[in-house]
Amino acid sequence: MTQTPEIAAIVLAAGRASRFAGGAADRTKLTEIFEGKPLVRHVVEAALASGAAPVVVVTGHARGAVMSALTGLPIREAPNAAYASGIASSVIAGIAAAPAHCAGALVMLADMPRVPAALVQMMIETFAREPGVDAVVPVVEGRRGNPVLLSRTLFAQVAALEGDEGARKLLMREGLRVKEVVVAESGAALDIDTPEALAALRASQA
């Protein structure tokens, strides 16, 4: 029987989300309500239910509002004072907070509320069955989606990311052993970047 490796979950919740709220200091899309709870809470609860541990939430913009939306959940916070410099700083902060015993880390976006715990769990199980891979990524309709599972073998390369280089961009580098898993979950390709996207998602569930 394949032993399940210990995998951390890193939820990126620090960005300004300027396309949604214009970067207003007191507003974040992550606290917008969908199906009775904030967007960010959907993502964190899926991470917790998947078996990933610990679940680390990277905060920055509107930090107080984000943390209030996660009240009562057993999470660790990784504050990112440099969040305005781009997503790379958040990935770096999150990976740095992953305990040394973790074999890897899932990088999850806090604006993707339709990623189910079952998908996250499947990625961890796939990683366990594929010794030697550097990463596991879901593929939806021929395109790579999120979340992305990074092996500890990539942590040093994460530390060298800059600006808006995220986990998916890292995996475009040559020579990496990336396991792609075709999934039917459209949520792996659905992020909420604009008020219109949120309205469309709400309408689809009506």
Predicted TM-score (pTM) of this structure:
0.92
Look at residue 2 and tell me if it is in a domain: no
pLDDT recorded at residue 184: 84
Look at residue 206 and tell me if it is in a domain: no
Separation CA 53–CA 61 (nearest Å) = 24
Q: What is the CATH number of the domain that holds 137?
A: 3.90.550.10
In order along its 206 residues, the chain shows pLDDT tens digits of 456 789 999 999 998 765 565 555 567 899 999 999 999 999 999 999 999 999 999 999 999 999 999 999 999 999 999 999 999 999 999 999 999 999 999 999 999 999 999 999 999 999 999 989 999 999 998 999 999 999 999 999 999 999 988 887 889 888 999 999 999 877 787 778 777 877 887 777 65
Question: How many separate domains does the chain show?
Answer: 1
The whole domain housing 100 covers: 7-201
